[in-house]
């Protein structure tokens, strides 16, 4: 071909489309094909044929099988276009060359290749992806008969292949479904039959009801157990409303429970009486269906027998606890009473025989036994959380500091005592004397757990209790102060921890402990709004922590305990003493009379009212809480305030039932003093109240 012919060919190619222009402008001198002017007539003819075809075509020519293609092939080339133009075929399709090279070699040997489908993994969009083609590879021969290269025409069939495969998979799946549908229908039928059998023969009551437009609930379905509970037939219930089945009050109660379940949108539990039976039930909202009524399912069971058994169990446990309690009380109080009566017997004998010089030791013994009996009573009241407390703002660090020397001496030289008080410790509102007693009790228990000596740590801390931490300790979330006593002694077995707070439970030998120490602490702390927790491991030691609610007041409000003082004298003020115990009235009148007060006495409420309603001058009323005659001490006080609005009242009591004195809260000008009390304490309290 002449140079003019090559020039014409370039122009024709350039006009044949994007790839024609690129082929005409490409630097073929850098490839094994050489410049276009050196190309054979066969190659140029094939290029012209390829560029003018709308079918994807390509040519791999020369010893390197340099790659040429037309515009229709661009989508197949993907991101390889346009850089793949002129590259060796092995470089263009490197990722699939292991599959393509044998086919190309067959063509170079002069044998054409035709395939309706070839599956390849090609990198055409930045990642390997599945591709399918139908193609023909034809050997193109030069004028001398040699194979100059490969001329290919192809159609990508990837979408069709994938669609056919998906269709086949769907057909097969509809076939992983037709085969099992009958089995599943049979299984479902069996399940429904089982449900129907359970529904029919269950001892539990089952019913479904729908909410009508008028706000009433109508029975849709119910099982025989429900009919037996209602003592009705099916025709008497199905299709009827609650108001038609039940008395008005019962219908209203049930309607309220069902409505609440719908309002919450979740199962709602309730209990009610049905005739002489007690029913425990759960109402579950049924998912609503468009255009249909809202419905609920009710499952209920008759728990009358269970309640009876539970009550019998509670009574048995109560009697067991009472037996344990009274047994322990009898043992301890008989010992204490023996000390009191024996000592007083000796005093009486010595007085009768005129030998009064040494009766003080017998009186002292009687007083010690009486004080121990009082302490035992306080422990019992603390355990039952019915003792009278005198809570005041308290700095726990200061309280511990005042006891540190006492604790160290009590522990002895073999125990190393370490007190760790938290900086900025919040105040608490507790009975400081009870807290001191509790702390000393804990330290003594710790000492007894370390017979060979050891380490005792008394530690305070501020604690923020979130919902989870508070729930673990049976407290309300909030701020608390902890007081923990830790020892490295023998520790406690889990069964010991379980009963640690039971009254009269002790692991100490007979005569070395009453078993009321921890129960007293538990009652005191719980009555103060706090909690007690034990953490122990056998052989490693025990930590016992008291948690008290933070007091919101300031530290400045906390005063020092001045302790007992001498008896303050009166100035002729009039005091009415109301107590059914003649001995108590006599003793109170004796001490207050000696102190300079004028005393009026009454054995019960009605007798006291006669004096209160008279014109007699009164400065103070002292009354026992528990009184005979149909009026307790609080009622006497309330009646007194009607006649004498500003009369000051001091309650004295042996049990301090909080409900009697207003859930533990007294009106202004009222105070309470727990029996037994020192007579000097009574006289000083009277003086303080009268002075205001």
Q: What is the mean pLDDT of the segment spanning 257-284?
A: 87
User: What integer pLDDT is reported at residue 559 of this predicted model?
Assistant: 42
Residue 408 in tokens: 């160290």
What does pLDDT average to over the chain?
A: 81
CB within 8 A of 494, min separation 6: which ones?
none
H/E element, 68:
strand 66-69
Q: Tell me: pLDDT of 662 over 70.
A: no
Report the C-alpha gap between 626 and 652 in whole angstroms.
Answer: 9
Higher-confidence residue: 612 or 306? 612
User: What kind of fold does domain 3-163 have according to CATH?
Assistant: Beta-Lactamase (3.30.450)
DSSP 8-state symbol, 520: H
Q: Does 557 score more than 70 pLDDT?
A: no
For residue 281 the two structure tokens come to 């039930």
Candidate from 161-170, 255-264, 332-341, 582-591 with smallest mean pLDDT: 332-341
**φ/ψ (deg, to 5) at 261:** -65, -45
- Name which residue leads in pLDDT, 162 or 686: 686
What phi and psi, each to the nearest 5 degrees, are found at residue 286? -90, 135
| CB neighbour burial string for 438-467, b if at least 16 within 10 angstroms, e if fewer | bbebbbebbbebbeeebebbbbbbebebee
Reported as a single tens digit per residue, the pLDDT across 8-61 is: 677 778 777 899 899 989 999 999 999 998 999 999 999 998 898 888 999 999
pLDDT score, position 517: 55
3-state secondary structure string across 161-227: HHHHHHHHHHHHHHCCCHHHHHHHHHHHHHHHHHHHHHHHHCCCEEEEEEECCCCCEEEEEECHHHH
The β-bridge partners of 118 are 133
Global model pTM greater than 0.75: no
pLDDT for 467 equals 83
> Which CATH superfamily, name and number, covers 194-302?
PAS domain (3.30.450.20)
Measured CA to CA in angstroms, residue 185 lies from 178, 191, 291 at distances of 11, 10, 28
Compute the distance between CA of residue 186 and CA of residue 425 in angstroms, rounded to an integer.
Answer: 71
Reported confidence tier of residue 506, pLDDT bands at 50, 70, 90: low
Q: Which residues, including other chains, have CB under 8 Å from residue 411's CB and lie 6 or more apart?
A: 417, 443, 447, 456
pLDDT of res. 187: 72
Query: What DSSP state is assigned to residue 241?
Result: B
Residue 34 region by backbone torsions, left for phi larger than 0, else alpha for psi between -120 and 50, else beta: left
Per the CB < 8 A criterion, the answer to whether 545 and 552 are in contact is no
Q: What is the pLDDT of residue 565?
A: 47
531: exposed, middle or buried (C-beta count within 10 Å: 0-12, 13-18, 19+)?
Answer: buried
Q: What are the tens digits of pLDDT across the range 101-157?
A: 999 999 999 999 888 877 778 777 788 888 887 788 899 999 899 999 999 888 877
* Contact predicate 328/508, CB 8 Å: no
Q: Over the range 581-619, which residues count as b (16 or more CB within 10 Å of their CB) and which as e? A: eeebbeebbebbeebebbbbbbbbbeebbebbeeeeebb
pLDDT tens-digit map of 145-167: 999 999 988 887 788 888 888 88
In a 10 Å sphere around its CB, with 0-12 CB exposed, 13-18 middle and 19+ buried, how is residue 658 labelled? middle
C-alpha Rg value of the chain to the nearest Å? 50
- Rounded CA-CA distance 356/620 in Å is 38
Q: pLDDT at residue 682 above 50? A: yes
d(C-alpha 372, C-alpha 684), whole Å: 23
**574-691 sits in which CATH class?**
alpha beta
CA distances from 89 to 96, 328, 358 (A): 10, 103, 129
Give percent helix, percent strand, percent coil of the chain, each to the nearest 5. Answer: 45, 25, 30
- Phi and psi at residue 119, to the nearest 5°: -105, 125
**Range in 210-214, 312-316, 604-608 with the lowest mean pLDDT:** 312-316
CB 686 within 8 A of CB 650: yes
The predicted model gives 186-196 an average pLDDT of 69
DSSP H or E run through 298: strand 295-302
Confidence bin at 205 (pLDDT 50/70/90): confident
User: 392-557 in CATH: which number?
Assistant: 3.30.565.10
Confidence of residue 86 (pLDDT cuts 50, 70, 90): very high
- What is the reported pLDDT for 510? 40
How many residues make up the chain in this entry? 692
Instruction: Let me know how many helices (H) and strands (E) the chain has, helices first.
Output: 22, 22
Quote the DSSP letter at residue 88.
B
Q: For residues 494 and 459, is the Cβ–Cβ distance under 8 A?
A: no
432-448 vs 517-527: helix crossing angle, rounded to 10: 150
């Amino acid at each position: 071909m002449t140079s003019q012919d090559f020039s014409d060919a370039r122009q024709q190619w350039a006009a044949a489309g994007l790839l024609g222009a690129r082929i005409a402008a490409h630097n073929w001198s850098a490839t094994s094909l050489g410049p276009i002017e050196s190309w054979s007539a066969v190659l140029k003819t094939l290029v012209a044929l390829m560029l003018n075809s709308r079918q994807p075509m390509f040519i791999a020519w020369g010893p390197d099988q340099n790659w040429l293609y037309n515009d229709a092939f661009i989508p197949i080339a993907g991101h390889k276009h346009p850089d793949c133009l002129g590259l060796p075929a092995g470089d263009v399709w490197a990722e699939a060359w292991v599959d393509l090279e044998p086919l190309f070699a067959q063509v170079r040997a002069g044998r054409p290749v035709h395939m309706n489908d070839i599956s390849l993994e090609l990198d055409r969009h930045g990642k390997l992806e599945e591709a399918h083609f139908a193609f023909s590879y034809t050997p193109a021969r030069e004028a001398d008969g040699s194979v100059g290269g490969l001329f290919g025409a192809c159609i990508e069939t990837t979408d069709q292949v994938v669609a056919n495969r998906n269709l086949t998979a769907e057909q097969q799946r509809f076939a992983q479904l037709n085969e099992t549908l009958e089995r599943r229908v049979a299984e479902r039928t069996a399940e429904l039959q089982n449900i129907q059998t359970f529904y029919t023969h269950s001892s539990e009551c089952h019913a479904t009801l729908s909410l009508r437009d008028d706000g009433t609930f109508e029975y849709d379905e119910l099982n025989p157990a429900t009919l037996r509970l209602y003592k009705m037939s099916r025709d008497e219930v199905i299709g009827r409303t609650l108001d038609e089945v039940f008395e008005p009050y019962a219908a209203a109660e049930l309607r309220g429970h069902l409505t609440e379940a719908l309002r919450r949108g979740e199962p709602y539990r309730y209990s009610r009486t049905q005739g002489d039976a007690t029913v425990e039930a759960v109402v579950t909202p049924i998912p609503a269906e468009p255009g249909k009524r809202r419905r609920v399912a009710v499952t209920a069971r008759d728990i009358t027998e269970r309640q009876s058994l539970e009550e019998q169990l509670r009574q048995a446990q109560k009697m067991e606890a009472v037996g344990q309690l009274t047994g322990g009380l009898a043992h301890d109080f008989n010992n204490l009473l023996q000390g009191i009566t024996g000592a007083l017997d000796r005093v009486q004998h010595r007085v009768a025989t005129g030998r009064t010089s040494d009766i003080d030791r017998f009186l002292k013994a009687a007083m010690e036994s009486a004080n121990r009996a009082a302490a035992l009573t306080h422990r019992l009241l603390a355990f039952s959380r019915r003792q009278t407390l005198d809570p005041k703002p308290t700095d726990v660090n200061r309280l511990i500091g005042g006891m540190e020397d006492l604790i160290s001496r009590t522990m002895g030289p073999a125990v190393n005592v370490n007190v760790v008080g938290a900086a900025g410790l919040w105040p608490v509102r507790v009975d400081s004397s009870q807290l001191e007693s509790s702390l000393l009790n804990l330290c003594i228990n710790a000492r007894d757990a370390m017979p060979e000596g050891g380490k005792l740590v008394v530690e305070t801390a501020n604690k923020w209790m979130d919902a989870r931490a508070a729930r673990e300790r049976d407290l309300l979330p909030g701020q608390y102060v902890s007081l923990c006593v830790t020892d490295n002694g023998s520790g406690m077995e889990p069964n010991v921890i379980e009963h640690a707070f039971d009254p009269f439970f002790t692991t100490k030998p007979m005569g070395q402990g009453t078993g009321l120490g921890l129960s007293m602490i538990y009652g005191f702390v719980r009555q103060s709004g706090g909690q007690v927790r034990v953490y122990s491991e056998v052989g490693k030691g025990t930590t016992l922590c008291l948690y008290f609610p933070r007091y919101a007041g300031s530290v400045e409000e906390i005063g020092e305990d001045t302790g007992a003082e001498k008896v303050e004298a009166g100035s002729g003020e009039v005091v009415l003493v109301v107590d059914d115990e003649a001995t108590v009235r006599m003793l109170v009148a004796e001490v207050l009379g000696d102190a300079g007060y004028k005393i009026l006495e009454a054995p019960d409420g009605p007798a006291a009212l006669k004096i209160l309603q008279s014109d007699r001058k009164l400065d103070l009323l002292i009354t026992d809480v528990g009184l005979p005659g149909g009026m307790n001490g609080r009622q006497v006080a309330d009646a007194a305030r009607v006649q004498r609005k500003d009369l000051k009242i001091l309650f004295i009591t042996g049990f301090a039932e909080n409900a009697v004195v207003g859930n533990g809260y007294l009106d202004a000008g009222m105070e309470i003093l727990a029996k037994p009390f020192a007579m000097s304490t009574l006289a000083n309290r009277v003086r303080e109240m009268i002075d205001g």
